[in-house]
Structures are given as structure tokens and as C-alpha cells.
């Protein structure tokens, strides 16, 4: 199946979940994420939109417990900017909440990037929304890349292209997948 059709199937599957179910599953995902971030100081997050794993509700915890939390600002490319309070977030690109583009965080200073995904497979391949923003940003990223997804977003084999960046880990409400070494 081509990427367009896989995207369509995954979008429909994710959209069937109620907000309550997404919140419950997001809580379980966060419970697994937090221990993985132990000892880290500089973490970059996506801020959820629509049916994605919820991150916004959990940002106050991360802001309180980590040195630098940043979120993406997108125009032509993704950049990350730090913020200290969720009240600083304002609607930006396609309605995504973004921090003010004031305190840019350099890519080399980020230890972990938490990435949204439309779909994933057992090899930690990621399917995004098709714009390539994260793949371009992550192409030379040296830190850890963690994707968050619901089990409903699993697909047998995500069609990939040479520029697609694989996740180091994918966290779902049922567990953690790690990128195979091959």
C-alpha cells in the first residue's frame, strides 16, 4: 500500500478514539516516558493537535521537573524554543500551540526530542503527516528520538523512503519498542 493510503487508514483509526480514551492512554504513555527521561535536562516536545497522543496536559509536570523544555515552532522548517509556562503558548502553524519564538534552543543542546506520529511499525519506522518537517530536522540530530503513539496507530510495515528517520524508541500505552540494530 502506498503512503497516501496508509496515512488515510491510520488517520481513520486514530480518529475513532474518544477524547476520554486518548487521555487514559496518554497517561499510560507518560508513565512510561518519565523514567526514560531520568537524568536528562533538555527535552523538546511536540504539542498535540487533534487526535495525537496528548502532551499539553502533562507539560506543567515537565516544566517543573526539567531544566529546559522546548516546543516546536514551524514556518518553513521546525525550530525549538524554550518556555517556562503553558500560558506562553499561542496558536501558530495549522492551529498548533507554539511558544514565543524568542529563546531558540540549538539542536546540539537538545538531549531528547519527543515526536508525534501518525503511524509506526515494529522496526520503529514513523509515518508523519507527510510534510517532512521532522525528518528534515532529525536527519542530523545526535540525541535520542522518541515517538509517542497509541497501539491503534501500529501498521504492519510503514512504507519508508531514504530520507525517513527512524525513532530510537516508540512508546505506546502497552509498552516501549526499541529500534532494532541492523
pLDDT at residue 131, as a whole number: 83
In the structure, what pLDDT confidence band is assigned to residue 73 with cuts at 50, 70 and 90? confident
- Contact between residue 178 and residue 124 where contact means Cβ atoms under 8 Å apart: yes
The structure's pTM equals 0.94
**108 or 49: which carries more pLDDT confidence?**
108
Chain length of the chain:
182
Q: Which residues pair with 73 in a beta bridge?
A: 79
- 3-178: CATH topology is Rossmann fold (3.40.50)
Residue 31's nearest CA partner among 52, 53, 64 is 53
- Find where cell 510503514 sits: 158
In the structure, what pLDDT confidence band is assigned to residue 130 with cuts at 50, 70 and 90? confident
- What is the phi/psi pair of residue 171, to 5°? -110, 125
Mean pLDDT of all residues belonging to the chain: 94
- What is the phi/psi pair of residue 121, to 5°? -130, 180
CA pair distance 40, 30, nearest whole angstrom: 15
Domain boundaries, the chain: 3-178
Q: What is the mean pLDDT of residues 155-174?
A: 95
- Local structure of 32: helix, strand or coil: helix
CA pair distance 50, 99, nearest whole angstrom: 18
pLDDT at residue 75, as a whole number: 77
| Cβ burial, residue 59 (10 Å; 0-12/13-18/19+) | buried
Give the percent of the chain with pLDDT over 90: 85
CA contacts within 13 A on the Cβ side of 160: 18
pLDDT tens digits, 145-160: 999 999 999 999 999 9
Amino acid at each position: 500500500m502506498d503512503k497516501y493510503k496508509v496515512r488515510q487508514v491510520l488517520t481513520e483509526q486514530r480518529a475513532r478514539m474518544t477524547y476520554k480514551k486518548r487521555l487514559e492512554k496518554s497517561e499510560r504513555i507518560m508513565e512510561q516516558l518519565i523514567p526514560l527521561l531520568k537524568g536528562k535536562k533538555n527535552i523538546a516536545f511536540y504539542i498535540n493537535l487533534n487526535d495525537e497522543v496528548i502532551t499539553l496536559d502533562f507539560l506543567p509536570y515537565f516544566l517543573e521537573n526539567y531544566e529546559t523544555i522546548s516546543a516546536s515552532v514551524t514556518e518553513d522548517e521546525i525550530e525549538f524554543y524554550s518556555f517556562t509556562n503553558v500560558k506562553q503558548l499561542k496558536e501558530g502553524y495549522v492551529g498548533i500551540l507554539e511558544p514565543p519564538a524568542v529563546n531558540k534552543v540549538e539542536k546540539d543542546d537538545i538531549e531528547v526530542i519527543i515526536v508525534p506520529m501518525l503511524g509506526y511499525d515494529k522496526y520503529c519506522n514513523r509515518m508523519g503527516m507527510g510534510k517532512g518537517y521532522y525528518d528534515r530536522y532529525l536527519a542530523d540530530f545526535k540525541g535520542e528520538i522518541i515517538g509517542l503513539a497509541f497501539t491503534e496507530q501500529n501498521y504492519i510495515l510503514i512504507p519508508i523512503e531514504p530520507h525517513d528517520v527512524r525513532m530510537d524508541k516508540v512508546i505506546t500505552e502497552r509498552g516501549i519498542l526499541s529500534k532494532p540494530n541492523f
